[in-house]
């Protein structure tokens, strides 16, 4: 239906416009990050990313990290996490596993040791339930290091966690006291 390369190209553009720069495609996101599928398809086509509704479904369902999700009646679509624009994804607070993992680069460690894990340009610190995923995430930034987050103790101390539709664990900040190098 669509080459792997084309799928990746569309997916990257969707990440850009659904998380960071909706104006680049001439779309708007509502307060929860949703945008109208019909308008999105029209604007994609105007910007050199023409896809049919079936092709968009294909990109959404085959996406390796399930980054995008439709609402119940498939009229709207949004990114499940990773935004830098102001949206409230309205996820319910959720009980995390006792430990979570964060992948980062060796070069960031000295700074992380000072201030803990900060959300930086995103809305939350991104954590995963498995260390394999964390290692892959860390690799994007340089020599990967996996940090183990004591989520159980954070919960006891009153910190809250959210789990996105694509199973990324989100929290505001992780102070150094809850971090350990794997």
Residues that bind ligand HQG (CB under 6 A): 65, 67, 82, 104-105, 108, 111-112, 115, 117-118, 120-122, 126, 137, 141, 168
H or E element at residue 7:
helix 4-15
Least Å distance, CB 60 to ligand HQG, is: 13
Least Å distance, CB 132 to ligand HQG, is: 12
> Considering beta carbons, is residue 46 or 143 the nearer one to ligand HQG?
143
Secondary structure of 54-119 as H, E, C letters? HHHHHHHHHCCCCCEEECCCCCEEEECCCCCCCCCCCCCECCCCCEEEEEEEHHHHHHHHHHCECC
> Considering beta carbons, is residue 115 or 160 the nearer one to ligand HQG?
115
Least Å distance, CB 118 to ligand HQG, is: 4
Q: Which of 172, 170, 173 is CA-nearest to residue 91?
A: 170
> Considering beta carbons, is residue 141 or 155 the nearer one to ligand HQG?
141
């Amino acid at each position: 239906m669509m080459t792997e390369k084309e799928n990746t190209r569309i997916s990257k553009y969707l990440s850009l416009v659904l998380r960071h720069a909706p104006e680049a495609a001439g779309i708007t996101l509502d307060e929860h990050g949703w945008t109208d599928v019909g308008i999105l398809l029209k604007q994609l086509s105007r910007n050199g990313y023409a896809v049919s509704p079936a092709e968009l479904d294909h990109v959404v369902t085959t996406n390796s990290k399930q980054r995008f999700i439709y609402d119940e009646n498939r009229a709207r679509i949004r990114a499940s996490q990773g935004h830098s624009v102001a949206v409230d994804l309205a996820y319910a607070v959720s009980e995390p596993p006792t430990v979570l993992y964060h992948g980062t680069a060796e070069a960031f460690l000295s700074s992380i040791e000072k201030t803990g894990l900060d959300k930086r340009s995103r809305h939350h610190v991104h954590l995963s339930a498995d260390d394999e995923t964390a290692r892959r995430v860390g690799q994007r930034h340089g020599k990967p290091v996996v940090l183990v987050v004591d989520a159980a103790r954070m919960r006891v101390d009153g910190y809250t966690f959210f789990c996105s539709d694509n199973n990324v664990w989100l929290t505001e900040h992780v102070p150094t006291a809850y971090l350990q190098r794997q």
